[in-house]
Chain A
Amino acid sequence: MTYYVFTLAFFLFDYFILAMGLNIQYGETGILNFAYIGFVAIGAYFTGVFSLHSAAGSGQFYILGWGLPFPINLLLGGVASMCFAFVVSLITLRRLRTDYLAIVLISLSLVLYDFCNNYVGLFNGADGLFNVPEPFAKSLGLNVNSFIPFFACLTGVVSLLMWYVMSRVTRSPMGRTFRAIRDDHVVAAALGKDVFRMQLKAMLIGSFYAGIGGGLLIQFGGSFNPTAWLPGETFVVFAVLLVGGIGNNIGMLVGALLVETLLIHLPAFLPEIPGHPGLIEYFDLALVGIVLMVMLWFRPQGAVPERVRRTATFGVIPRGEDDPGPQPALELGEAQ
């Protein structure tokens, strides 16, 4: 029983981190990043190959294999994801926007998926990495049963830490600039903000969160293969984002609880319907789609709507009762 509860708690906290990373990209800055699961996979693979020892004799083929201890390999996985995001951003963000950016990013994630799936020398191809060392398992003497509660709590601590950092980022002047770019990038550019640089920063922060979330995934399961990050998985993270409510970080926790925990992972632990083995598991993605449509129909702002931020209105004189006068450019309305 505790095994189930802590597995669910792990996925809740992990998707909280992933959704916060997507939130800073899409919810705050408006970059429609459909390659998000690719950044998660890069983080997971690099965390794996940094913590595994040399590939010779293990029956797997992968690069590096440095055998680093736990927090360092996780951070380096996040940094690897950031480097990948930097290259991708330099190629795409400067020239493309909205729909075309989304098409290029989803194409990139498909190319990356095919490459990692077929090129065995990089990350062991379609078999994926396995036997990744469990963090602190030797030093604390954890066995299979005590590792899962320990790691779920560790993930919870990490996610709280990252939530604190992210809430500081979104309240900072940089976060205000992100939201100004989301609302109207022409206005932000007219006010002297370098839109490309700010979008690049948002991509880097978001992909670091993606890399950390992916690294925690591979450390929890001990293995990672390409079926875990089919490009369609991006839309599960998007569902977490939209159900929770874009543009605020607490909504991500609610969205992760509703979508990821209740719809994706809880059904795997439910008893089977007699005569229809596996029926419940096959319905989880369909359920996510239905919940997403219902949510967008009845409550498009998400479970926790974005807070309407008040800004000072220096020098704006109200013109009368009917006309509220010119609105300051950085004041935000409700989320779309």
Chain B
Amino acid sequence: LFLFVIFAAVIVGGVGSIYGAMAGAILIGLATEISAAFINPSYKLDIAFVILILTLLIRPSGLIARPGTT
């Protein structure tokens, strides 16, 4: 299950881009932990998946796309 959270961080950041992976990891990590303050903490990993799904639907190349892939 935790593998998919890391997957989410990589894809949100942009596959193939190192700084993108860093940015994605910070985004996913903060989003899952901060969301626990507002909604039921049982759902905190689901926040990561929702962000992943939204990223793939709206901006499939990720936050920081590798040059030449967009």
Contact = CB atoms under 8 A, between A and B. Distances in A.
Interface of A: 91-92, 95-96, 100, 103-104, 106-108, 110-111, 114-115, 117-118
Contacts of B45: 110, 114
A274 to B, nearest CB: 35
B43 interface: yes
Given A91-B57, A96-B56, A100-B56, A107 B43 contact: no
B43 A115 contact: yes
Contact of B46 (A92, A104, A111): A111
A165 B7 CA distance: 39
B52 A107 contact: yes
Nearest to A106: B4
Nearest to B58: A95
B52 A104 contact: yes
Q: Which 3 A-B pairs have the closest CB atoms?
A: A107-B49, A118-B42, A111-B46
Nearest to A107: B49
A204 to B, nearest CB: 21
Contacts of B7: 103
Contacts of B11: 100, 103
Given A107-B4, A107-B53, A111-B49, A100 B43 contact: no
Chain B interface residue bracket vs A:
10 to 19
Interface string B6-32: 011001000000000000000000000
Given A103-B7, A106-B4, A118-B42, A111 B56 contact: no
Interface in B29-49: 40, 42-43, 45-46, 49
A171 B41 CA distance: 49
A165 B25 CA distance: 48
Contacts, number: 47
Q: Tell which of B4, B45, B49 has the most Cβ of chain A within 10 Å.
A: B49
Contacts of B53: 91, 104, 107-108
A91 B56 CA distance: 11
B42 to A, nearest CB: 4
Contacts of A106: 4
Contact of A103 (B1, B46, B50, B52): B52
Contact of B42 (A91, A103, A104, A114): A114
Given A107-B8, A107-B52, A95 B46 contact: no
13 contacts: A92-B57, A96-B57, A100-B11, A100-B56, A100-B60, A103-B4, A103-B11, A103-B52, A104-B57, A107-B49, A108-B53, A114-B43, A114-B46
A104 B53 CA distance: 6
B60 A111 contact: no
Given A92-B57, A103-B52, A103-B56, 4 more contacts: A104-B53, A110-B4, A111-B50, A114-B42
Given A95-B57, A100-B56, A110 B49 contact: yes
A91 B52 CA distance: 13
Nearest to A231: B1
A110 B60 contact: no
Nearest to A230: B1
B70 to A, nearest CB: 15
